[in-house]
Amino acid sequence: MHLTSELTTEALLCEFGQRLAQRRIDLRLSQAELAERAGVPKRTIERLERGTSVAFAAVLRVLGALDALGALDAALPARAPSPLALLEARGRERKRAPRARGRTAPAVWTWGE
């Protein structure tokens, strides 16, 4: 099942819980071991896998313990600077030297002076 905005919150939580449980099993961790690694009670792991809502901080700790925080980074990437901001930060390439301020233009030079 793909996680889409058309799914109900309950369906999303259930699918998330199933995926979390599968990841834990693939890593050969018991619920108690995962809870210890994540620093959360075992009951929190049980609730997550069952699809019951828990505090988001607990979800982040569990994802960190499963080495799966990169998935959140992919889902919600950091905002990249705009192309205009990049240009301003880099500055413009100079095509010529700027004219010195406050100096008058040199007198025209002629031969024989």
| Angle value at C-alpha 48, between 45 and 54, nearest 5 degrees | 105
* pTM of this structure: 0.60
Q: For residue 91, what pLDDT is reported?
A: 63
Answer yes or no: CATH 1.10.260.40 is held by domain 9-76: yes
106 band by pLDDT with thresholds 50, 70 and 90: low
- Tally of residues, the chain: 113
11 vs 1 pLDDT, higher one? 11
Q: Rounded to an integer, what distance in angstroms lies between the CA atom of residue 109 and that of residue 11?
A: 85
15 vs 28 pLDDT, higher one? 28
Q: For residue 95, what pLDDT is reported?
A: 65
CA-wise closest residue to 25 among 15, 36, 33: 33
Distance of CA 91 to the CA centre of its chain: 27
Q: Is the pLDDT of residue 35 over 90?
A: yes
87 CB contacts (<8 Å, ≥6 apart)?
none
**Paired tokens of 83:** 């192309």
